[in-house]
Each structure stands twice: as structure tokens, then as C-alpha cells.
Structure 1
Amino acid sequence: MRDAVVTAEGDRIRWAELPGREPTRVYVHGLGATSPAYFAATASHPALAGHRSLLVDLMGHGISDRPTGFDYTLESHADALAAALREAGVTGAEVIAHSMGGSVALVLAARHPHLVSRLVLADANLDPVTPAVGAPGSAGIAAYTEQEFLQGGWEQVRDRAGAHWWATMRLAGREALYRSAVHLARGTSPVMRELLLRLTIPRAFLFPEADGPLAGAGELRSAGVLVVPVPDCGHNIMLDNPEAFVRATAAALSG
């Protein structure tokens, strides 16, 4: 395990690191997740192993600190991640990022371009969503006020999330989980999809084949994004079908 101070208050981001050759690969989890749990098996798969790999937990999640004074916008997440990568001596990383982590990775590449050489996004959030009570993911969490969430809304989210997601969500700070969800639902300006279209580095977008055609896939392909449907999986592609995730990721990183 490694760590780096990333705020003026001394808050630390932590990551599990696998030694290997350059370029460094950085794995970034989604909302309420943690990178070691979601990526350890695939990052160490023979088709992906051998590179220096950082399985990073974003601020407020997993083994990283959970400051209540942090705002947890996508921009702040990206800047804190950038500070950790600089402390780790990383430049030109190949970033593999899931869900909210993909949104953070897009902001990272836009704001700190020297840190990112390639992007592989696994079912990342590209567009804002409308908060709705009972909805899955960030939309459901963002339907509460922060006070409502802290005073008991988180228990309702826990019950809807189920044991699998709660296994890692319970590690996140409640303020961190709520504010991250609100800002993920709200999106960035320009929106994450526009950031993806504007980037000029190699980019791939993996999504569950069962979800049907990806919205805006033609525009993404025209902008040079490799769009890859992955069979036999849901949103957690790397857990549901690790072999297919590894094949798609390895192909994107070698293309």
C-alpha cells in the first residue's frame, strides 16, 4: 500500500501498487466502490500484468481518507487524484476507470493532460441524470438532501443497494458518498461526453452488450473512440465477465 497527501489539510489518498514496467497503469473505481476489490483480479491477469499498476481509492472511498470538509466534485476528485499521481512519480499513465471513476478520469485527462496517455472507460457516466427517489446509483442518492441522507436516507440506499455493492459502499464516508453522487448526477461543464469527444489521446469505451446500442456511439466513433460491447455482463463488467473485460482492455491498450 502507498499513500500521498493531496489536500492542504493533510488528507491522504491511498492505493495498492503492483510493480512492473512503464507506462504505469492507473485503475479507478466507481461510486461507493474500491479499486483493489474491483480490479485486483483483472490487473494481475496475465494479459494485463507486468506494468506498474496503481489501484487507487478516490477521496472518501475505500482505504483513502474521508474528510467531511471536501466537496467531492468530479473536478476535486480529479485534482486530488492528480496530486497523488504526481507524488507517485506518474506521467503518461494508461488509465482504466469504471463508472464514476471514468467520469473522474475524463476530468483528469482534460485538466492534467500530462498525466494521461490512454483511457479505457468501463461503462462510465457520460451524461447528467435526473435525481429520482428509489432510482439506482447516483440518481437515487442525489434525490435526498444531504441532511436527509445523513439522518437515515443512507439506510434506505443500503437496503436497495444489496449486499454486493454495500460490501464496498459501507467503507465510503457518508458525506463523500452523498456529495460524489450529487456531483456525478449533475455532471461537469462541459459535460463528460463532450470531454471524451474533445480528447485526442487513444480512448476506448466498454459497455454491457445487453444494454443495447450505446447512445451516441456513432459520434464517439467518429471522434476516434473505440466503442466495445462486452457480452455476458452488467454494469460491473470487470467482476461479471473478467475474461471479456481483460480481452477488451488489453486490445484497447495495445491498439
Structure 2
Amino acid sequence: MRNAAVTPEGDRIRWVELPGQEPSRVYVHGLGATSPAYFAQVAVDPLLAGRRSLLIDLLGHGLSDRPTDFDYSLESHADALAEALTAAGVIGAELIAHSMGGSVAVVLAARHPHLVARLVLVDANLDPVPPRPGALGSSGIAAYSEEEFLAGGWEEVRDRAGEHWWSTMRLAGREALHRSAVRLARGTVPTVRALLLDLKIPRTFLLPEADGPLPGAGTLEAAGVHVVAIPECGHNIMLDNPEAFARAASAALAD
């Protein structure tokens, strides 16, 4: 495990690092998750192994510190991640990023372009979503005020999330989880989708085949984003169908 201070107060991001060749490959988890738990299997798949790989936990999640004075916006997550990658000596990395982590990766590439050479987005959030009480994911968490969430709303989220997601969500700071969800649901200005369209690096978007066509896929493809549907999986593509994920990610990074 490695770590780096990423805020003026000394809060640290931590990651599990696998040795290998450069350029580095960085794996970024989604909301309430942790990269080692979600990406370890595919990171050592023969199709993806051999690169220096950083399975990194965003601030407030997993192995990393959980400051309560951090705003956990997508921009702040991206800037903190940039600090960690810089401290690790990473430049021109290949990012494989899931869900909220994909949104952070797009913002990172837009704000710190020297750090990112390629993007593989795994069912990432591209657009704002309205808060919806009782919903799964960021929109359901964002429907609570922070006070409501800390006072007991997190228990309702726990019960909706189920055993698998809660096993990593429980590691996140509760302020971090709520603020990350609120800011993810709110999105960025310009939107994450607009930022992605404007990037000039190789970009691939993986989504579950069962979800049907990705909204706006034609515009993404016209801008050079390769959209790939993966069979027999849900939102957690790398866990549900690791073999197909490894094939698709390897092809995206080799193209």
C-alpha cells in the first residue's frame, strides 16, 4: 500500500500498487466503493497484467482518509487524485474508472491533461440526475439533507444498498458519502458529458448490454468515443463478467 497527502491539512489518499511497466494504469472506483475490492481480479487478468497499476481509493472512501471539512465535489475529488498521482510520479496514465470514478476521471483529464493519456469509462455518470427519495445510487442519497443522512438516513440507504455494496460503502465517511452523492447528482458545469466530448485523448465507454443503447451514443461516437456494450452483466461490469471486461478494456487500451 502507498499513500500521499493531498490536502493542505495533510489528508491522505491511499492505494494498492502492483509493479509493472510504464505507462501506469490507474483504477478508480465508484460511489461507496473501493478500488482493490472492485478491480483486483481484472487488474491481474493476463490481458491487463504487466503494467504498473494503482488501485486507488478516492478521498473519503476505502483505505483513504475521511476528512469532514472537504466538499467532495467532482472537481475536488479530481484535484485530490491529481495530487496523489503527482506524488506517485504518474504522468500520461491509462485510467480505468467506474461509475462516479469515471466522472472524476473525465474531470481529471480536463483539469490535469498531462496526467491522463487514455480513458476507459465503466458505466460512468455523464449527466446530472434529480434527487429521488428511495432510489438506489446517488439520486437516493442526494434526496436527504446532510443532517437527515447523518441522523439515520444512512441506515435506510444501507438497507436498500444490499449486502454487497454496503460491504464497501460502510468504509466511507458518512459526510463523504453524502456530499459525494449530492455533487455527483448535481454534476459539473459544463457537464461531464460535455467535458468528455471535448477531450482529445482515446476514450472508450463500457456499458451493460442489457441497459440498451447509451443515450447520446451517436454524438459520443462522432466525437471519437468508442461505445462498447458488454453482455451478461449489470452496473458492476468488472465483477459480473470479468472475462468480457478484460477483453474490452484490453482492446480499448491497445487500440
Q: TM-score, normalised by structure 2?
A: 1.00
Structure 2 residue matching 1:62: 3-state secondary structure: coil
Q: Deviations over 1:140-192 (max 9, x none)?
A: 00000000000000000000000000000000000000000000000001000
Unmatched segments (≥5 aa) in structure 1: none
**Alignment match, 1:51:** 51
Alignment partners' CA distance in 2, 1:127 and 1:32:
19
- 1:42 Cα deviation from its structure 2 partner: 0.2
**Alignment match, 1:159:** 159
1:186 corresponds to 2:175: no
Q: 1:223-234 maps to which residues of 2 (within 5 A)?
A: 223-234=223-234
Query: How large is the RMSD of aligned CA atoms in angstroms?
Result: 0.3
Structure 2 residue matching 1:14: 3-state secondary structure: strand
2:251 partner letter: A
1:208 partner letter: P
**Alignment match, 1:91:** 91
Alignment partners' CA distance in 1, 2:213 and 2:69:
40
Structure 2 residue matching 1:85: 3-state secondary structure: helix
**Alignment match, 1:171:** 171
Q: 1:66-215 maps to which residues of 2 (within 5 A)?
A: 66-215=66-215
Unmatched segments (≥5 aa) in structure 2: none
1:28 partner letter: V
Alignment partners' CA distance in 1, 2:112 and 2:139:
28
Structure 2 residue matching 1:119: 3-state secondary structure: strand
1:181 partner letter: A
Q: Give the 4+ runs in structure 1 shifted more than 3 A.
A: none
Structure 2 residue matching 1:71: 3-state secondary structure: coil
**Alignment match, 2:236:** 236
Alignment partners' CA distance in 1, 2:65 and 2:214:
35
1:252 partner letter: A
1:180 partner letter: S
Structure 2 residue matching 1:106: 3-state secondary structure: helix
Alignment partners' CA distance in 2, 1:35 and 1:76:
18
Structure 2 residue matching 1:160: 3-state secondary structure: helix
Q: TM-score, normalised by structure 1?
A: 1.00
Among all aligned residue pairs of Structure 1 and Structure 2, give the percentage whose two residues are the same amino acid. Answer: 77
- 1:99 Cα deviation from its structure 2 partner: 0.0
Alignment partners' CA distance in 2, 1:215 and 1:250:
24
1:30 partner letter: G
Structure 1 residue matching 2:233: 3-state secondary structure: coil
- 1:118 Cα deviation from its structure 2 partner: 0.1
